[in-house]
Structure 1
Amino acid sequence: MSKYLFLLFIFVGGGFVSCTQTGMDVKLLEQVESCVEVYPDSAMRLINLIENPEHLHGKERADYALLMAQTLDKNYLDSLQSDSLIKIAVDYYKGGDDKVKAGKAYYYYGKMLVAKGKVSEAMEAYLEALVFLKETNEYKLRGLLFEHVGYLNLGQGMHEQSIDNYRQSIHYYELAGDRIGEVYGCRNVARGYLAKQNTDSAHWYANRGLSLLTDTTNQVKSSLLQLLGLIAKEEKQYSQAIDYFISAIRASVNENDGLRYYLSLGRTYLDMGKLESAEECLNHCRAANDVFISSGAYNYLYLLKKEEHNYEEALSYKEKSDSILEVVRNGELRNQLLTLQKKYEADKLIMENKQIKLEKENQTYFYSFIVLLISSLSFYVIKTSKKKNRRNVEALRKNEKIIEGYVCKITELEQKEEWEREVKKETIGKLNRKILDLTLENKKIRENSSVEALFVLEELKQGRLVAERMTATERQNIFDFLDLIYADFISRIKAEFDLTKGELLLAAFIKLGFSSKQLMIVFDCEMKSVYKSKQRLKSHLGLNKEESLEQMIVLY
């Protein structure tokens, strides 16, 4: 009898301890919410003190999910976020009265979707967040949302929409009193106008950003100076552009950013024909840790040496640039494989956690049932006869058989999981082999296409071959070469515009930098015919009289 009462006391005491722990977790969540904006590192330490977040329910569970997403974002660990975690907060708040937390939940859900490459779903999440925050005073958060919507629109090539989004972000940053946010907004608008070649508006917004900037050590200052340099370069004001780039280099607080500005400076010297100064700047960028900076430096050195008619060294720089880009492509492939492997491991871990949780729940239910049954029996024994006790014994035996059945089912599930794991390993192995074979095949195709195309181009430049006598294979080699080095240039322009083969070939030569005199030799015609061919191509590309055909093709 005393044993049964002791077990009942343990059961009730466990429930009391559980309630106490929940109260401590709620206090920790309140502390995290109060310091996450100003002291994100302290917020990370506090939220990690919650030992069993899976035991939280309702509002506390949603608060934990939102604060964890916010803490990871503030500590620049947003790539570690789980969509299932932030989705808990989204599902809870979207049907409640707390519009601010609903807006925050959708904001961080959108950022997580962007990290996973789900652009359309991220746009929906951002717009949903703006709907929730419409009647609130969360001006800074609304500014951030419009800024991120602008990034998505810019990524889709919708410059007008992105500029409008950035302007709205500036408006809300101004309402929030966030001066740095206004500066970044002005820089974003200026970049949008520069992409549209509206240099006057770009210049105005870049200067406004500088005028708002009070902290001269802020890294955004150097990017604004670079932007002004690019605007001056676009307007052919090379001396002024050089001054801006040098100022950007001096104001830079980040080594990679400084090298990027050196790259812009070198390109400007190259456009001015100051080859020695250009080479000095570009050599400064060759050893950059950023592969895109080093690849760009080698590519500009290739153009510089080609300008000097040093073709042997030019080809050497071109090969180095291409090899760096090839490493990047291989790295992307490895990242894709690593992502696939991590997903497999994550799925495996989730299955194991579910299995452990199921076992714990079964044990909890079983022990709770036993404790309650024994407690009932302790009172039942006093008042009933031995005959009724036998029935209780039979009930216990029946329960034991049910438990044995559960154990058998658990064993079957474990065996099935082991078999599925082996099947997944075999499938991943086959996919890895196929990827390796296709990678080697693509490498051979690229090498063959580049060699043949370079030979044909050299023949055309030397006048030993004219376009009219080119075979379909030679023409296709040039098209494939352009697709290879200029991100599918021929394929994209062919898909977007209805061009003839001759017009495609003319666009290809212009992209490769052929002058009008070289085009006369290649097409074996007079300058007047070259001019008319360019006018027809310009018309088919939808350009007006004031727009430059060569500039459009170079920037396309």
Structure 2
Amino acid sequence: MYYYGRIIQLCGDELRAMKIYLDAYKSLKDAKEYKLLGLLSENIAIFHRNQSFYDQYIRFARCAVNFNYLAKDTLGVAYAYQTLGQAFFYKQELDSALECTTRSLQLLKDNPIRLEIAAAKLFAFIYCQKGEYIKAEKILLDIIDKEPNERKKLYHYITLGHLYQKQGKVSEAKKYIMMCMNSPSLSTRSEAYACLSELSEAENNYKEALSYKAIADSLHYLAENQNKREAVVQFQAKYVEEKSLRESLQLQMEKRTIFFSSIILLLFFGICMYYLYRKYYHAKLQITKSCRRLKRNDEKIAGYRKEIKMCKRQKTDSAVSSGNKIKKLNEKIDELMADSHRLRDKLDVSVLIKMLKSGEIIVDNLTLEEWDRIFTLVNNLFNNVLVVLKNKYEQLTDHDIKVLSFLLLSFSSKEVVTLFESKDGHTLSKNKLRIKERIGMLKGEALEDFLQKCRAGKIR
């Protein structure tokens, strides 16, 4: 998080970098990672300096000093003291700034060149603020001699030029200011021309002063535009990133929508298949099972008859025992034959049901025997449901029982209307309403729910 914040800060997004630093600082609050806490404190302090929050600047600079002491990082302590010295300088507490800067140079026997130059420049600023220009001049000249980086020398030249300007040494000031004219930094060159404008104005050379001022303003305008262009580029990059993220989220939402829609469609398809199964295939399955059962009964009957023949042929000592066995076998045969008779009745009625569904026969043409077969089929399929309904709801008429029989066999409303030769569906609707009233159903309840309970054997 710390190094990520550093990269964001170098990219110019200080507010975002500050948030990352504070999150990292909060995460390490109770830890003993003093080195990292020192680095974080120093960067947070610099952020407060840039925002002109000098009290917070001093507070975090002190934290940086303390954490580096705890980390036993002497070089880190030295740099932290310089940061604290700069904080006091911004607060115009010059003595405290001088003391902190001096202490930063006393911690090491052999100080790095960058530490020495930074401290020396801060000394020069402090002496300049105090009006001790000779000391400040000597320090700045010494810095220029020691500075190994030619580009950074330009900043020292312009600082020295400002110092000579304050002292009224125009020629010396111009000498060092002119050295900054080839600076790659537009801001530095703008500052140099502004300084030359002030020097020319001090010499009453107003034409030259206006010329320098115009150049300074132009460079300042270009520098600002460059910053704006960089800000626009950053904004565009951020916009592209947010757009990409938004499109990614939208794609995820579309995928989720498709996924859930597929699940809903599968569930709907499954419900439709179950409905079709209940409506068209349940009775067929029952018939298939009846055929298998009938075949097993016939096989068992043949086996029992074979055993009876064997018993009659064998000469046993106990005739009574043989007679009892034959009697039991005959009883089993009678039971199986009765069961087979019921199954055959069910199979015979399946043809009748098909004819009723197709509209070839209407209910007025059905004989009493055919009605008995239909009622027997419904009772066999659904656990004597018609018997239960007749006993439980005595107010149900024979016509109601007939209508319920066809509805239980999953006849459609159109098929039932055709069977009873109704001109439209209103008669069937009235029949259903009367049935609901007679079995005590409420107006909002559906008759199909009641029929489903009947099929499931939940009506007792």
Q: Does 1:344 align with 2:245?
A: no
Q: Are positions 1:114 and 2:15 aligned together? A: yes
**Does 2:125 match 1:230?**
yes
Aligned-partner residue type, residue 171 of structure 1: N
Alpha-carbon offset, residue 131 of structure 1: 4.7
In 2, the alpha carbon distance for the partners of 1:212 and 1:257 equals 25
Q: CA deviation at 1:363?
A: 10
- Distance in 2, matches of 1:303 and 1:78, equals 35
After the TM superposition, which residues 245-284 of structure 1 pair with which residues of structure 2 at under 5 Å, given as runs? Answer: 245-284=140-179
Report the counterpart of residue 292 of structure 1 in structure 2: 187
Cα deviation for residue 255 of structure 1 reads: 3.5
Is this contact kept in 2: 1:265–1:281, CA < 8 A? yes
Tell me how far 1:142 sits from its aligned partner: 2.0
Structure 1 length-normalised TM: 0.43
* Percentage identity across paired residues of the two chains: 27
- Following superposition, the deviation at residue 165 of structure 1 comes to 2.1
Structure 2 residue aligned with 1:509: none
- Among 153, 156, 163, the alignment partner of 2:48 is 153
Give, in angstroms, the shift of residue 359 of structure 1.
7.6
Q: 1:304 aligns with which of 194, 199, 213?
A: 199
Q: Displacement of 1:229 after TM fit?
A: 0.9
Q: Distance in 1 between matches of 2:258 and 2:110?
A: 61
For residue 210 of structure 1, what is the aligned residue in structure 2? 105
CA contact (8 A) 1:140 1:176 kept: yes
| AA partner of residue 93 (structure 2) | N
Where in structure 2 are there 5+ consecutive unaligned residues?
263-280, 283-460
Distance 1:217 1:71 in 2: 23
Distance 1:70 1:162, change over 3 A: closer
Deviations along 1:458-496, one digit per CA (max 9) or x if unpaired, are xxxxxxxxxxxxxxxxxxxxxxxxxxxxxxxxxxxxxxx
CA shift for structure 1 position 228: 0.7
3-state DSSP of counterpart to 1:137: coil
Letter in 1 for 2:234: T
Cα distance in 2 for partners of 1:213, 1:115 equals: 35
Larger-Rg structure: 2
Give the alignment of 1:308-457 within 5 angstroms: 308-354=203-249
Alignment of 1:127-146 (within 5 A): 129-146=24-41
Contact 1:217-1:251 within 8 A present in 2 as well? no
The alpha carbon displacement at 1:306 in A equals 1.1
- Given that 1:219 and 1:253 are in contact with CA atoms closer than 8 Å, whether structure 2 keeps it comes out as no
Counterpart residue number, 2:116:
221
- Alignment-derived partner of residue 444 in structure 1: none
TM-score (norm 2): 0.51
Aligned-pair CA distance for 1:313: 0.9
Q: Tell me, what secondary structure is at the counterpart of 2:198? A: helix
Kindly state the Cα deviation for residue 214 of structure 1 after the two structures are TM-superposed: 5.2
Report the alpha carbon displacement of residue 150 of structure 1 after superposing the two structures with TM: 2.2
CA distance in 2, matches of 1:77, 1:112: 6
Query: In the alignment, residue 137 of structure 2 is paired with which amino acid?
Result: I
Which secondary structure does the structure 2 equivalent of 1:285 belong to? coil
CA change 1:360–1:179 in 2 (3 A) is farther
Task: Tell me whether 1:180 sits opposite 2:81 in the alignment.
Answer: no
Contact 1:190 1:205 in 2 (8 A): yes
Shift of 1:261: 1.1
For 1:32-51, what aligned pairs fall within 5 Å after superposition?
none
Q: Pick from 197, 202, 213: which aligns with 2:92?
A: 197
Residues in 2 aligned to 1:150 and 1:193: alpha-carbon distance in whole angstroms: 12
CA deviation string 1:367-413 (max 9, x = no partner): 9xxxxxxxxxxxxxxxxxxx99xxxxxxxxxxxxxxxxxxxxxxxxx
**Conserved? CA contact 2:86–2:97, under 8 Å:** yes
The 1-side partners of 2:157 and 2:30 are apart by 46
Alignment match, 1:394? none
Cα distance, 1:140 vs. partner? 1.6
User: For residues 235 and 79 of structure 1, what CA distance do their matches in structure 2 show?
Assistant: 34
Residue 380 of structure 2 aligns with which residue?
none
Q: Structure 1 residues 263-272 or 251-260, which shifts more?
A: 251-260
Question: Deviation string for 1:204-227 (max 9, x for gaps)?
Answer: 111211223555444232121111
Say which SS state the counterpart of residue 52 (structure 2) adopts: coil
**Given the superposition, is the C-alpha separation of residues 112 and 213 from structure 1 closer, same or farther in structure 2, using an over 3 Å criterion?**
farther
1:202 to 1:214, Cα distance in 2 relative to 1, 3 A: same
1:112–1:271 CA distance, 2 compared to 1 (3 A): closer
Q: Give 1:141 shift.
A: 2.1
Q: 1:220–1:320: structure 2 CA closer, same or farther, 3 Å change rule?
A: farther
Letter in 2 for 1:114: L
C-alpha distance 228-343 of structure 1, shift in aligned 2 (>3 A): same
Cα separation, partners in 2 of 1:168 and 1:331, compared to 1, 3 Å: same
Q: Distance in 1 between matches of 2:45 and 2:94?
A: 20
Separation in structure 2 between the aligned mates of residue 115 and residue 214 of structure 1, nearest angstrom: 39
Retained in 2: the 8 A contact 1:146–1:166? yes
Mapped contact 1:166–1:188 kept (Cα < 8 A): yes
1:18-97 to 2 correspondence within 5 Å? 69=1, 72=4, 76=7
Q: Is the 8 A contact 1:295 1:320 kept in 2?
A: yes
Structure 1 residues 340, 145: CA separation in 2 closer, same or farther (over 3 Å shift)? closer
User: Cα distance, 1:314 vs. partner?
Assistant: 1.1
Q: Distance in 2 between matches of 1:77 and 1:166?
A: 21
Q: Distance in 1 between matches of 2:9 and 2:124?
A: 33
Cα separation, 1, equivalents of 2:251 and 2:138: 65
Could you tell me how far 1:79 is from its partner in structure 2? 5.9
> How far 1:358 sits from its partner (Å)?
6.4
Q: Shift of residue 186 of structure 1?
A: 1.4
Please tell me whether the aligned partners of residues 143 and 170 of structure 1 are also in contact (alpha carbons under 8 angstroms): yes
Q: Check 1:327–1:214 CA distance in 2 against 1; reply closer, same or farther (3 A cut).
A: farther
CA contact (8 A) 1:262 1:285 kept: yes
Amino acid at match of 1:325: H
Cα shift readout 1:132-176 (whole Å, capped 9, x = no counterpart): 433321112222233233234333433233223212210111111
Aligned length: 275
